[in-house]
């Protein structure tokens, strides 16, 4: 299989898995998340089986009283029951607090947690709120495409032949008389480097040489994520528990984030090392020639 096609086909495999999950249990994501959310965010409908002071609540939830006060101030926790000067929390607070802690541990920030909890309370579909399918099987690009009139797109490149090449390799798309810059950060980098005398054709050549190698790296990383999911969700077999499916999806989202960060750091380190080596060779050659004169 050509390397360039592997990431797309493997991303398609993830999408198929998610579609199978939906066929097997239409509300699997909602059901999984609701097991965590319902008792936590619907306090009026949940009977408490315990009452805790703030220090007891913190100990049970594995957090601190300071964090609890922060979550209350940010609207993440409902107010406690006041008995005189004593604030009493119940199991609803404990469930919600454990959920908040878990979400923060998974990499969400307080604003995101607040948004998701608020959306759930307002009755929105949690799948839409989290954007799980888009986060996993949709566009993972960190840059957003830019649409502009065709004339503006050509003016941005300032080279008709180069513009056509960029259309040919998918960096730019044409749609209804407009130019869609699919990779605006790439074009921005091209234009900045061109100011130092590097030709646009040279930059496009470099891009076309690099992409297959990046696709190979993507194939390796995506395959690892797909294999992990495929171990749990197999054709013909019954679906695992909703909570396990939700955990797999969370793993994929975090895997994506960490994989991008790790590859970026490795690439930066490799480029730095290569630059040092090349500069060292150039200086050595210069010194040697200078000594011969």
Per the domain annotation, does 7 fall within a domain?
no
Span 74-126, pLDDT tens digits: 888 888 888 778 888 887 788 788 878 877 877 778 887 887 777 666 655 55
Mean pLDDT (the chain, rounded):
75
Boundary residue ending a domain (114, 134, 154): 134
Per the domain annotation, does 269 fall within a domain?
yes
List of the chain residues with pLDDT < 50: 1-5, 7, 10-11, 14, 17-18, 20-36, 38-48, 128-141
Which residue range forms the structural domain that includes residue 60?
Answer: 54-134
Boundary residue ending a domain (82, 108, 134): 134
Q: Is 130 helix (H, G, I), strand (E, B) or coil?
A: helix
227 and 149 in a common domain:
yes
Could you tell me how far CA 200 lies from the centroid of its own chain? 31
pLDDT at position 22 is 44
**Count of domains observed in the chain:** 3
Q: Check the CA dihedral 86-92-97-100 and report its sign.
A: negative
205 and 143 in a common domain:
yes
Q: What are phi and psi of 193, to 5 degrees?
A: -70, -30
Per the domain annotation, does 151 fall within a domain?
yes
Measured at the CA of 172, the angle between CA 167 and CA 178, to 5 degrees, comes to: 105
79 and 109 in a common domain:
yes
Q: Residue 227: which residues within 8 A CB-CB, separation 6 or more?
A: none
Cα–Cα nearest to 101, from 55, 64, 46: 64
273 and 212 in a common domain:
no
pLDDT at position 87 is 84
Per the domain annotation, does 81 fall within a domain?
yes
CATH number of 108's domain: 1.10.1660.10
162 and 199 in a common domain:
yes
Per the domain annotation, does 18 fall within a domain?
no
Residue 191, both tokens: 């234009």
Boundary residue ending a domain (187, 216, 232): 232
Residue 45 carries which DSSP code? G
Cβ count near 191 (within 10 Å): 14
Span 213-240, pLDDT tens digits: 988 888 888 777 777 777 777 666 776 6
């Amino acid at each position: 299989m050509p390397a360039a096609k592997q990431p797309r086909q493997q991303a398609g495999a993830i999408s198929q898995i998610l579609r199978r999950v939906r066929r097997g249990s239409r509300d699997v994501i909602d059901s999984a998340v609701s097991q965590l959310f319902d008792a936590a965010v619907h306090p009026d409908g949940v009977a408490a089986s315990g009452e805790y002071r703030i220090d007891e609540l913190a100990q049970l939830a594995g957090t601190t009283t300071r964090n609890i006060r922060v979550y209350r101030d940010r609207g993440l926790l409902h107010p406690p029951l006041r008995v005189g000067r004593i604030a009493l929390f119940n199991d609803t607070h404990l469930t919600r607090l454990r959920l908040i802690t878990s979400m923060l541990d998974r990499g969400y920030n307080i604003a995101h947690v607040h948004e998701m909890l608020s959306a759930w309370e307002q009755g929105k579909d949690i799948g839409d709120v989290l954007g799980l399918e888009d986060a996993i099987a949709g566009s993972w690009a960190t840059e957003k495409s830019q649409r502009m009139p065709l004339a503006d797109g050509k003016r941005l490149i300032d080279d008709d032949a180069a513009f056509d090449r960029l259309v040919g390799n998918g960096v730019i798309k044409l749609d209804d008389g407009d130019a869609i810059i699919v990779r605006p950060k790439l074009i921005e980098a091209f234009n900045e480097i061109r100011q130092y005398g590097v030709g646009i054709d040279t930059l496009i050549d470099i891009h076309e040489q690099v992409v297959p190698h990046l696709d190979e790296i993507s194939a390796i990383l995506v395959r690892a994520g797909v294999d992990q999911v495929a171990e749990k969700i197999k054709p013909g077999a019954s679906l695992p528990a909703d909570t396990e499916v939700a955990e797999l999806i969370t793993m994929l989202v975090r895997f994506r984030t960490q994989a991008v960060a790790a590859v970026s750091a490795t690439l930066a380190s490799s480029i730095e090392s290569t630059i040092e080596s090349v500069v060292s060779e150039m200086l050595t050659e210069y010194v040697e020639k200078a000594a011969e004169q």
